[in-house]
Structure 1
Amino acid sequence: MAAKTPLEVAQYTAQTGMKKAQYPVSSVLVLSFLAGAFIALGFLLDIRVIASVPAEWGSLVNLIGAAVFPVGLIMVLIGGGELLTGNMMAVPLATIARKLSVGSMVKNLSLVTIGNFLGAIFVAYAFGHVLGLTGEGVYLAKVVDMAGHKLHDGFLQAFISGIGCNWLVALAVWLSYASDTMSGKVLGIWFPTMAFVAIGFQHVVANMFLIPAAIFEGHYSWGQYVMNFIPVWLGNLTGGALFVAAAYWVVYLRQAEPKVKPEVVTSIEPVEAEGRVMLSKQA
């Protein structure tokens, strides 16, 4: 089977969210560190590609950057990683479906937030600042400009932008779960992710790389970053948990899962009876 039905995706996602919350703390931290680093590398690639593109190209510049950014999420979902925005959909769905406690959900999202931040800031400092990939020339100018646009949004704007972002990113995760093939997963991830980047929505983990990268070069402050982090985190949670998880739970999982159909049971009984007869004859 090439793809799951929406009902099967909902069931699979709820099960996946439950499993995510049951991972050992050490595993969650390692996988979330990797995910934060992967998203940061995707953003770094975006910056390195578009920084020197002529301004006359207009919005086409955003499309080019958006087209390469999904590499990060592909590495997370296929290579392995715990990404906060994806967990903000899968783990709440498991909680709504009563497979997890609220405490387990909060613990998982908190640990993944920490791990993602460590991974993203490692890339921002080691590759961006120390190696100079975001600290010189047009690359520095692009980082400062992009970070400034993120920080310019007020609380409400950043919150709503966060909703839009994770509505799309959570759907990218959802579509990747729907496919049973590598190519299908890549395509499912690529287009919704490209859309959120091209639109300019705010992604809390991407910002964990972008804004600190600018701070390491002497621009902006950690206080400004915190005031951006809070509304974007809350907006991403709302987008993933409400607009994807809760919406699909209402449609597909609110009713109790159907019991085994009677005809399935009766179709098994003759086989079992026949087996008993055959065994008795052999005896």
Structure 2
Amino acid sequence: MYYDDFKKVSDGASKKVDFMNKSILGYGVSSILAGIYIGLAVILVNTIGGALPSGAAKILMGAGFSLGLCLVVIGGAELFTGNVFSMTSGILDNTINAFNGIKLLVICYIGNFVGSIITALLFYAGGGLKSENIALFINNSSLSKMSMSSTDIFFKAILCNMLVCLAVWCATRCKSESGKIMMIFLCIFAFVVSGFEHCIANMTLMTASMLSPFAEGVTLSGFLHNIIFSTLGNIVGGSVFVALPYFIISKYR
């Protein structure tokens, strides 16, 4: 049962690598789209957060952020955090080699970063940061993330990508589109409401914050501090806590 589903993931990793090797441009565009999709979800949830009281806002923010991963999974795009699970699965199952898996993750990460920046710039150009409530909410969220200790960011990022990769894994196992959407919704709702750290989402958030007229206290060093440790935690969460356990299980069940 698990073997067949895990094989879908590892074979999918091989197809992703083939796509990258066939056209780095095409793969890069797909990665940029994923950064844009996650960025759109970031803008949505922070618009909600800036407009509503904190209690109600957090629940709706959790619900709204699932839009990003739904667009990635169902619309089709290449997201770094989900690909950590996919590439690790392919490497463990010997459908791809480590060099190609790491190469794909690097290209995907860069593409996601570009897409995140594009989304933040478009939001800024469209006047989205002219709303004081929204701009202050984005700024305060960014300051909170930048001021966390490296260990807090790292472990919250592990938990985050466990949930993101479980959403991808469950979507692989679901037989219907509605089932996929429901599992994505529940997993993403859990990570947003719990306040976990997603490196790609944070790229859009903190870029928008640096463009904000209320950007006091937001720094490039704080940006890099969060992104480095959230990226490392996301890698551990997807590879060690999701891909590796299901690889082991798939050998016996």
TM, length-normalised to structure 2: 0.94
1:6–1:178 CA contact under 8 A, matched in 2 = no
In the alignment, residue 208 of structure 1 is paired with which amino acid? M
1:66–1:197 CA contact under 8 A, matched in 2 = yes
Q: For the residues of structure 1 that align with 2:130 and 2:207, how far apart are their CA atoms?
A: 12
Tell me the equivalent position of 1:73.
Answer: 69
Q: For the residues of structure 1 that align with 2:145 and 2:45, how far apart are their CA atoms?
A: 16
Could you list the runs of 4 or more consecutive aligned residues of structure 1 that deviate by over 6 angstroms after TM superposition?
A: none
Q: For the residues of structure 2 that align with 1:79 and 1:198, how far apart are their CA atoms?
A: 24
Tell me the equivalent position of 1:173.
Answer: 168
Q: Equivalent residues in 2 for 1:29-44 (5 A)?
A: 29-44=28-43
Post-superposition shift, 1:135? 4.0
Q: Equivalent residues in 2 for 1:196-207 (5 A)?
A: 196-207=191-202
Larger gyration radius, structure 1 or structure 2: 1
Q: Secondary structure of 1:51's match?
A: helix
Tell me the equivalent position of 2:53.
Answer: 54
Same amino acid, percent of matched pairs: 30
Tell me the equivalent position of 1:187.
Answer: 182
Tell me the equivalent position of 1:235.
Answer: 233
Q: Which moved more, 1:221-230 or 1:169-178?
A: 221-230
2:2–2:249 CA contact under 8 A, matched in 1 = no
Where does the alignment leave 5 or more consecutive residues of structure 2 unmatched? none
CA RMSD of aligned residues (A): 1.4
In the TM superposition, what whole-angstrom CA distance separates every residue of 1:189-219 from its partner, at most 9, and x where no partner exists? Answer: 1100111001000001100100111011244
Structure 1 residues 132, 175: CA separation in 2 closer, same or farther (over 3 Å shift)?
same
Q: For the residues of structure 1 that align with 2:121 and 2:208, how far apart are their CA atoms?
A: 7
Q: Equivalent residues in 2 for 1:149-164 (5 A)?
A: 149-164=144-159
In the TM superposition, what whole-angstrom CA distance separates every residue of 1:37-73 from its partner, at most 9, and x where no partner exists? Answer: 0001011111112312124xx3x32111110110111
Post-superposition shift, 1:22? 2.0
Q: Find out whether 1:87 has 2:83 as its counterpart.
A: yes
Post-superposition shift, 1:6? 3.2
Tell me the equivalent position of 2:127.
Answer: 132
Q: Equivalent residues in 2 for 1:6-17 (5 A)?
A: 6-17=2-13
In the alignment, residue 182 of structure 1 is paired with which amino acid? E
1:162–1:239 CA contact under 8 A, matched in 2 = yes
Q: For the residues of structure 1 that align with 2:122 and 2:77, how far apart are their CA atoms?
A: 20
Where does the alignment leave 5 or more consecutive residues of structure 1 unmatched? 258-283
2:78–2:108 CA contact under 8 A, matched in 1 = yes
Q: Find out whether 1:22 has 2:26 as its counterpart.
A: no
Q: For the residues of structure 1 that align with 2:192 and 2:117, how far apart are their CA atoms?
A: 20
Count of aligned positions: 247
Q: For the residues of structure 1 that align with 2:234 and 2:80, how far apart are their CA atoms?
A: 9
2:6–2:247 CA contact under 8 A, matched in 1 = yes
